Amino acid sequence: MAREIAKYAIKYLIKTPKAGSIPETFSEDLSKKVLHFHRRLPGYQPTHLIRLRNLAQSWGVAEILIKDESTRFGLGAFKVLGGSYAVARLLCQKLGIDIQTIDFDYLTSDAVRKRVGHITLATATDGNHGRGVAWAAEQLGLQAMIYMPKGTARSRVENIRCHGGTVEVTALNYDDTVRLCSRRARENGWHVIQDTAWEGYEDIPRWIMQGYMTICVEAVSQMREQGVNRPTHVFIQAGVGAFAGAMVGYLARLFQDDTPCFIIMEPNNAACLFSSAIAGDGLPRNVTGDLSTIMAGLACGEPNPFAWNILWDFVRCFICCDDFVSANGIRILANPLKGDESVEAGESGSVGVGLLDLLANNADFGVLKQALKIGPGANVLFFNTEGATDPENYREILWHGKYPSMTYK
């Protein structure tokens, strides 16, 4: 049954994970191959796993670990890992070759260009995914046609145009923009590189999710290097749920004897996974409307059905919240305790830390905290999935306290 902490506009559902069988899609073996592919991309560097020891002590948990994707390939977000892998798989499929057998340079060669001909990639995006696809197209000498929902921040449009992508900002919400993009691609013979799936369109979204595994492979190895065996709690923010599905799929498989507690977070106005969870029958549900939230990357109303199946099986808690939680996360990460590192987190990257602040420090969240067993034994893993991709809003949040905390006393 869903519960509400009405004073703070937070709803959550705790469920007992079913621990069903874990799809092969996220095997350790494949994750190594994906990492091998990313390592050959120009500019590859593993992103940092930031350990906030003083914050962990202050909030009464063993570890707070933040996998900081804000620096991934200099593109401000993790998304390029999925887009680049999917585009490369698509090219390899056209060429009839195995991705393991080629160098990235080969894919950019004239020989390949001659064999595959002129290719245009098309996608709908709230910013980060389109930036990753435009970057991959630029690297490979392909065209990119990018559709964005209404209200998209100018900086996010510019971040795509500067990689040569053609951008159209629509008058539609995210999900209708996905449909528009798919229609235009059909009419024009473009290749859709979308991170959500529908009937008959499953390979590319699956490749995108597999591309995200590099984050987990790096994070687990960095954790072990720092003497932390495993995460006990993993907070994951979700839009269509592809990112969360990949993280849960990989980690549940890797730690199958002692599965971490997975917590999925969404904005109140775009909580399609939460709505699916409360329906209780294991089927995905859509939400509609303009999906308005500062967490632009999470403003999606229709779950990725493949990701949803994984989340339904393995997630312990679905939770949705208002924008102030994300804004608090931004402020906390940018202003660390003495001795901790500061982290630039964008609106979709910071929500987990904003939420842990409430759980750790606010008696109204005591029941939830206890149900999730958040305490001195908890190794908590977060993903800062983006940096300040809307710098104006980021500054307003930090400098002028936009979206003020509802817990300010």
Ligand X SMILES: Cc1ncc(COP(=O)(O)O)c(C=O)c1O
- Select which of 126, 175, 340, 357 is catalytic: 126
Q: Which residues contact 379 (CB under 8 A, 6 or more apart)?
A: 61, 62, 63, 65, 223, 228, 229, 230, 231, 232, 233
**Helix 323-334, helix 391-400: angle, nearest 10:** 80
**What is the distance between the alpha carbons of residues 12 and 23, in angstroms, rounded to a whole number?**
27
Q: Segment contacting ligand X (CB under 6 A): 90-98, 217-225, 231-239, 393-401?
A: 231-239
Q: Is 242 in the site for ligand X (CB under 6 A)?
A: yes
Q: Is 136 in the site for ligand X (CB under 6 A)?
A: no
**What is the distance between the alpha carbons of residues 108 and 374, in angstroms, rounded to a whole number?**
48
CA end-to-end span of the chain, whole Å? Answer: 31
Tell me how far, at minimum, the Cβ of 299 lies from ligand X, in Å: 9
Q: Which residues contact 67 (CB under 8 A, 6 or more apart)?
A: 47, 48, 49, 50, 215, 218, 219, 222, 381, 382, 383, 384
**What is the distance between the alpha carbons of residues 10 and 268, in angstroms, rounded to a whole number?**
8
Q: Is 386 in the site for ligand X (CB under 6 A)?
A: yes
55 vs 244, beta carbon nearer ligand X: 244
Q: Is 165 in the site for ligand X (CB under 6 A)?
A: no
Q: Is 385 in the site for ligand X (CB under 6 A)?
A: yes
Q: Segment contacting ligand X (CB under 6 A): 10-18, 47-55, 241-249, 361-369?
A: 241-249
> Contacting ligand X (CB under 6 A), which of 177, 237, 259, 293?
237
Place of tokens 């940092």: 48
Q: Is 270 in the site for ligand X (CB under 6 A)?
A: no
Q: Which of residues 187-206 bind ligand X (CB under 6 A)?
A: 195
> Contacting ligand X (CB under 6 A), which of 244, 252, 310, 368?
244
Half-sphere exposure of 4 (CA within 13 A, CB side): 6
Number of residues that bind ligand X (CB under 6 A): 21
Structure tokens at 119: 């290719």
Q: Segment contacting ligand X (CB under 6 A): 29-37, 197-205, 232-240, 278-286?
A: 232-240
3-state class (DSSP) for residue 169: strand
Q: Is 238 in the site for ligand X (CB under 6 A)?
A: yes
Q: Is 131 in the site for ligand X (CB under 6 A)?
A: no
Q: Is 344 in the site for ligand X (CB under 6 A)?
A: no
203 catalytic residue (yes or no): no
> Measuring CA to CA, which residue among 64, 16, 368, 67 is closest to residue 246?
67
Q: Is 265 in the site for ligand X (CB under 6 A)?
A: no
Q: Are strands 317-321 and 166-169 parallel, antiparallel or unpaired?
A: unpaired
> Contacting ligand X (CB under 6 A), which of 149, 205, 231, 239?
239
Enzyme catalytic residues: 79, 126
Footprint of ligand X (CB under 6 A): 77, 79, 126, 128-129, 195, 237-244, 297-298, 300, 348-349, 385-386
